[in-house]
Structure 1
């Protein structure tokens, strides 16, 4: 029980980071506790906290706290690959995540999927992922690190002709997606446009190649080591058809790993350097962090001229156009 303390959700989406863990710092997706450190035990149900000590901000952002009374854990178990938790944030919470359902993986509690009952946009990096299809050649998109399907859901709704092939290593993550995040309904709704595979995402392939690939591959709270190897990016580039692109969640300093030696910012920089060796000047970066000490970024491959940006904007719904202006060339 966390009487008189506040939980903070931050994140590596367009608005900072997200993890679930006690800490004095604002942590990739994070639910953290500010105040005197105590052992952290997620409640099995909501608990009332002392009203005199409840946090009542004037204006809330994703960096502001969510009282424990407004967060309920509805599933929690361990698998061979993950420590899985599903949390529900009350619709009454004074927070941008009010009414959302969150999928947390690994011990630090990085958030890997988010969904809202009455809206599709998430105000997270999944929205950035959803901007990719308009700048791709015709063909299917691969999602490496499918999670509970947050990116897939949004793209299927926005682009009626799009076909998605998603890979997820842990079958339990997909099962949780089907039970708690509406993935089963999504599969029935789009039987000829959504295909999900259980297995190593780095071995993903389809006939004639992908038009685009989304990479969101984390393990134990860190980008997987293979992404710091240029050989991995060479193989992924070969799996693209002509004109294809790759968009990557490369994390940043706000991502918290189980191994303290896997510093989020350092791993991000090593990943970008590996990508740069393969893609050269055709590598761009979009920073999502709100704070200098808590950066979180998305990378994009392929040429990006001014004329491309204008056409890209015109092809996107108004709610997503702003992301186009946030890209800049990777400087190394």
Structure 2
């Protein structure tokens, strides 16, 4: 038996988790669960009373119809591990010889279910200066929610850092949660720290005609892969005045007059980067925001599997939230992407907006996330 296991870099997908590590395995699987942890984006803290009362119609959204897809988890005995960023726990791919009577039980498949190995194609695999990069293509015929998609895997754990589908824009991952940010921030540019192959940027540009995106990615090879396999080159040509990509340290990102919003999805070797556990980092990002701006962050969780076993996903997430709390105080909210405490989470800064007004300006497929935000409890 031969199977693949995916873990996503900043995505834990049960209900909407995305980055997951990718692992190649050759043993029977258990009916346990897969997790993926999602990236979170950061934004400003201090908002004036005026901006807090601002209407949520500053930006318009073109409605989409897709609904969130649930992602489950399965554990396998790993034989060979392939690295990538962090989505959640591995997503499994199995050969026909691995099928059991469970596979023939009539039921709706979820992202927790294994993908037949014959439906998975590796179209690129190489090592860059910063990453072990793999691009996978899932057959459109696969009986799986990821059918017809391409996945970008980074780092040794094999986490998924980007995902794109041929015939739809929404990804059913935490990238869609990021796409709900523009209506609750003032007009102005949005920064994506941890650009990947451009999954979040694509949604923002297509959903919000007025949004300008500035993305930072440390690894130029990741940008090259995005242009070659994820349609990033076409996106740049389509939005030459709205999409700007920079190769370099994302924590040095800045533009004149500041950002209206910041999306933070920064992972390295399968873990949130250490700088995010430092309050000084969040103070610096807060100062790079415009008045009324916000930060949304993929903070991961227990589902994140780092190369360094000492970097426990839950501990790193908690330390990151504590560091953010020192800067943003009670204006900090958390969204858990699954039904369990150890699922991946996102964080949002600023005063919680009027939820009903927020939902009204979002397509139904995104409005489901609005009621999932909860005040941070330490």
TM-score (norm 1): 0.91
Q: Of 77, 94, 102, which residue of structure 1 is paired with 2:151?
A: 102
1:152-191 matches, within 5 Å, as: 152-191=201-240
SS of residue in 2 equivalent to 1:197: strand
Residue-by-residue CA offset, 1:197-229 (whole Å, 9 max, x unaligned): 000000000000000000000000000000000
Kindly indicate whether the alpha-carbon contact (under 8 Å) linking 2:81 and 2:156 is maintained by their aligned counterparts in 1: no
Kindly indicate whether the alpha-carbon contact (under 8 Å) linking 2:22 and 2:82 is maintained by their aligned counterparts in 1: no
How many residue pairs get aligned? The number is 324
RMSD between superposed Cα atoms in Å: 2.5
Q: Of 80, 97, 111, which residue of structure 2 is paired with 1:50?
A: 97
Kindly indicate whether the alpha-carbon contact (under 8 Å) linking 2:162 and 2:196 is maintained by their aligned counterparts in 1: yes
The alignment status of 1:12 with 2:12, answered yes or no, reads: yes
Distance (whole Å) between structure 2 residues aligned to residue 36 and residue 304 of structure 1: 43
Distance (whole Å) between structure 1 residues aligned to residue 282 and residue 77 of structure 2: 44
Cα separation, partners in 2 of 1:313 and 1:222, compared to 1, 3 Å: same
User: Which residue is 1:213 aligned to?
Assistant: 262
Kindly indicate whether the alpha-carbon contact (under 8 Å) linking 1:165 and 1:195 is maintained by their aligned counterparts in 2: yes
Q: How many Å apart are 1:49 and its aligned residue?
A: 3.7
User: Which residue is 1:314 aligned to?
Assistant: 360
SS of residue in 2 equivalent to 1:298: strand
Distance (whole Å) between structure 1 residues aligned to residue 108 and residue 364 of structure 2: 25
Distance (whole Å) between structure 1 residues aligned to residue 36 and residue 82 of structure 2: 20
Q: How many Å apart are 1:52 and its aligned residue?
A: 5.9
User: Which residue is 2:59 aligned to?
Assistant: none
SS of residue in 1 equivalent to 2:369: helix
The alignment status of 1:253 with 2:302, answered yes or no, reads: yes
Kindly indicate whether the alpha-carbon contact (under 8 Å) linking 1:211 and 1:245 is maintained by their aligned counterparts in 2: yes
Q: How many Å apart are 1:35 and its aligned residue?
A: 4.7
TM-score (norm 2): 0.80
Distance (whole Å) between structure 1 residues aligned to residue 338 and residue 94 of structure 2: 31
Distance (whole Å) between structure 1 residues aligned to residue 248 and residue 12 of structure 2: 25
Cα separation, partners in 2 of 1:310 and 1:260, compared to 1, 3 Å: same
The alignment status of 1:303 with 2:358, answered yes or no, reads: no
Q: Of 165, 175, 196, which residue of structure 2 is paired with 1:116?
A: 165
Cα separation, partners in 2 of 1:227 and 1:237, compared to 1, 3 Å: same
* Structure 1: segments with no counterpart, 5+ residues: none
Kindly indicate whether the alpha-carbon contact (under 8 Å) linking 1:245 and 1:300 is maintained by their aligned counterparts in 2: yes
Kindly indicate whether the alpha-carbon contact (under 8 Å) linking 2:82 and 2:156 is maintained by their aligned counterparts in 1: no
Q: How many Å apart are 1:79 and its aligned residue?
A: 1.0
Distance (whole Å) between structure 1 residues aligned to residue 371 and residue 99 of structure 2: 44
Q: How many Å apart are 1:84 and its aligned residue?
A: 0.5
User: Which residue is 2:58 aligned to?
Assistant: none
Kindly indicate whether the alpha-carbon contact (under 8 Å) linking 2:81 and 2:158 is maintained by their aligned counterparts in 1: no
Kindly indicate whether the alpha-carbon contact (under 8 Å) linking 1:230 and 1:278 is maintained by their aligned counterparts in 2: yes
Kindly indicate whether the alpha-carbon contact (under 8 Å) linking 2:22 and 2:81 is maintained by their aligned counterparts in 1: no
Distance (whole Å) between structure 2 residues aligned to residue 51 and residue 245 of structure 1: 47
Cα separation, partners in 2 of 1:87 and 1:131, compared to 1, 3 Å: same
Q: How many Å apart are 1:15 and its aligned residue?
A: 3.1
